[in-house]
Amino acid sequence: MTDPSTNMRLKLPITCFILQIILIILFGVLVQYDEDTDAKKHHHGNHSESKSDIENDFYYRYPSFQDVHVMIFVGFGFLMTFLQRYGFSSVGFNFLIAAFSLQWATLMQGFFHGLHEGKIHIGVESMINADFCTGSVLISFGAVLGKTSPVQLLFMAVFEVTLFAVNEFILLTLLGTKDAGGSMTIHTFGAYFGLMVTRILYRPNLDKSKHKNCSVYHSDLFAMIGTLYLWMFWPSFNSAVTEHGDPQHRTAMNTYYSLAACTLSTYAMSSLTAHDGKLDMVHIQNAALAGGVAAGTAGEMMLTPFGSMIVGFLAGIISVLGFKYLTPILENKLKIQDTCGIHNLHGMPGVLGAIVGAVTASLASKEVYGEGLEKVFPDVASGKRTASDQGGVQAISLAVTLGMALFGGLIVGFILKLPIFGAPRDTTCFEDSLYWEVPGEEESHEDQLTTVKTEESDKLNS
């Protein structure tokens, strides 16, 4: 009785197997351990430079990597469990496409970041970068959540990871842009890519499954697990691939204060914009995170805690206003059905972060950064470009990212519209039972207690 057009029996296994086998083969051909991971290379280096084990990049970055990893799998995964009957798919497809994307990103980023005699060298930094790229895919997933099959999502990931790597290459390598926390490369890119995809996949009759596109009490609590892990570990996210030492330290601290300020403005705006002053869980779950997004570019710069707090404060306000007033307009006028409101959490705050980054970069000077200028703006320190040039480059990078994201989303949206990927029907969106064996209802509690007591007294009487 299942619908053959949405049945995953063959589509999903074949897609997973083929993708994974391709990945394995490409890893076999292309990937090698880097200096700090290889038994042979590490110890050669060791002797000549007397580099202590503690200076292995692992000890600088692995704790941050694990925090980022939690954000990707628990943070994004549980944030999306707010839907009442889509928790398995939210956390489960998040898991699947993340596990795929991090492998594919290793290859794509490795390819663009520079080969070593035809080989991609990997270590903890590449693992973080792969997780970052995955984060971008998961942001896009938020826009199409509930309306796409896992096969569509896997193909979206194939293309999006590739485009992400190209965009990142243009920004970080060709243009010399600074964007350690990815306001542009991760958030702006992922958001506008996803928004364009969901625009192309527009469903005029989505209101047929409208009653399922909402939360219940416990699903909102599950989502708060996701929110809090994203919030707590965002300082690690933004600082994970900055230079060692003070930049990592400073980035984590800037992000910490940006998020704190953002949380207060989110609560204020959520209560203020409700007619009865009641807080809306959607705002708390999402807008309180905008401060992390908005500190993604400038976090490593000498933004100061003061500057970070202003940025976070504004991000929270913008984000709640977006949920309240812009999302309905996007849906009704522009036909953009954005399930998780990624435009408010990643889109606008990402653009804000890019602008803040451009302004902060243009104000960089030897006076403020001292010798540390080298670590944050190597091109400015070396005299290759002025600080205001760097600011200009940052601004251009935002435009490039928006262009790449929108154009990429357009193409990929049309690809995903092909009927071969088994998209769900309008009536079965936001519904786990299409893809999962869903367990039956819980026996009522009182019934069970009665059962136990009856049985126990039976035993005693016997």
Residues numbered 337-376 forming contacts with a second copy, rule: CB under 8 A: 368-373, 375-376
Q: Is 43 in the site for a second copy (CB under 8 A)?
A: yes
Residues numbered 379-418 forming contacts with a second copy, rule: CB under 8 A: none
Q: Is 103 in the site for a second copy (CB under 8 A)?
A: yes
Is the separation of the CB atoms in 428 and 434 below 8 Å?
yes
DSSP 122: E
Handedness of CA 170, 171, 172, 177 (dihedral sign): positive
CA distance 233 to 256: 9
C-alpha distances out from residue 78 to 85, 95, 129, 181, Å: 13, 10, 22, 21
Q: Which is nearer to a second copy, 258 or 337 (CB)?
A: 258
Is the separation of the CB atoms in 279 and 288 below 8 Å?
no
Out of 133, 309, 330, 354, point to the residue binding a second copy (CB under 8 A): 309
Out of 225, 410, 411, 415, point to the residue binding a second copy (CB under 8 A): 225
Q: Is 87 in the site for a second copy (CB under 8 A)?
A: yes
DSSP secondary structure, 25-68, as one string? HHHHHHEEE-TTT-HHHHHHHHHHH---GGGSHHHHHHHHHHHH
Out of 79, 80, 108, 122, point to the residue binding a second copy (CB under 8 A): 122
Q: Which is nearer to a second copy, 358 or 376 (CB)?
A: 376
Q: Which is nearer to a second copy, 212 or 410 (CB)?
A: 212
Least Å distance between CB 157 and a second copy? Answer: 11
Contact letters for a second copy, residues 129-168 (x by CB under 8 A): ---------------------x------------------
Is the separation of the CB atoms in 197 and 141 below 8 Å?
no
Residues numbered 253-292 forming contacts with a second copy, rule: CB under 8 A: 253, 256-257, 259-261, 263-265, 267-269, 271-272, 274-281, 284, 288
CA distance 202 to 218: 29
CA distance 288 to 267: 8
Out of 114, 174, 207, 306, point to the residue binding a second copy (CB under 8 A): 306
CA distance 180 to 248: 10
Contact letters for a second copy, residues 195-214 (x by CB under 8 A): ----------------xx-x
